[in-house]
Structure 1
């Protein structure tokens, strides 16, 4: 199997753009959520690690679908931005399901972290399927 140089460059282009979108998504997510997730995770907060991981996985699931179904780079980026908005909205919707959810995450309530993880991944799967 031979891979043409242009195919390899296209792969690098999509991978690079997706990686940048993931970093930007994580940065924005960390800035708008009230908890200081990275600091809490560094100190062993599993609930925050689960919540953040679920958001990133849910976002990446949609990015994969967008890569597969987009007609070009612009379309891919637009769907990526839409996926980011959806994942952030999922976080805020989830905080309304559980009373004092942010405080529960801060206090390392793993059950709340798992719920947030599951919601984020579930919505990411639905969002990805909607692109097909």
Structure 2
């Protein structure tokens, strides 16, 4: 059992490092496309921004977790992880540009309903895409 652990630990570390890097890149891209500054708002105690970012991040992490379990290599996982990121970015853009144009302002004003809505939509679409990413 110990030998198996020692043999597989480098694979775990490689996948985890790649997934963590992908997550940081996703969060950086996400906060760049949103008009409000989530992390500054969260630092000020804005719960709507916290709900939005948390839900969206979970909507990204769920499909990436599914892909990690089914990928054949780290590059394969990174490519499908990039698809998960693009879907989450698109979800926000559709909501903010087509469905609910004032959502960014409402989140900045700490409207919890808006933060939960955006985060919930991100999580929901993440679960759907996770199901679609399994061969």
Could you state the TM-score of these two structures normalised by the residue count of structure 1? 0.95
- Correspondence for 1:100: 102
Q: Deviations over 1:49-85 (max 9, x none)?
A: 1111111111110110110111111110000011000
1:21 is aligned to 2:41: no
| Distance of 1:22 and 1:4 partners within structure 2 | 25
**Matching of residues 43-82 of structure 1 within 5 Å:** 43-82=44-83
Q: Deviations over 1:71-128 (max 9, x none)?
A: 1111100000110000011111122322411111111110011111110110110111
1:112 is aligned to 2:114: yes
| Distance of 1:103 and 1:75 partners within structure 2 | 37
Helix, strand or coil: the match of 1:63? helix
Answer whether contact 2:56 2:120 (CA < 8 A) is retained.
no
| Aligned alpha-carbon RMSD (Å) | 1.1
Structure 1 gap segments, 5+ residues each: none
Structure 2 gap segments, 5+ residues each: none
| Distance of 2:121 and 2:37 partners within structure 1 | 20
State the 4+ residue runs in structure 1 displaced beyond 2 angstroms: 1-6
| Distance of 2:30 and 2:45 partners within structure 1 | 19
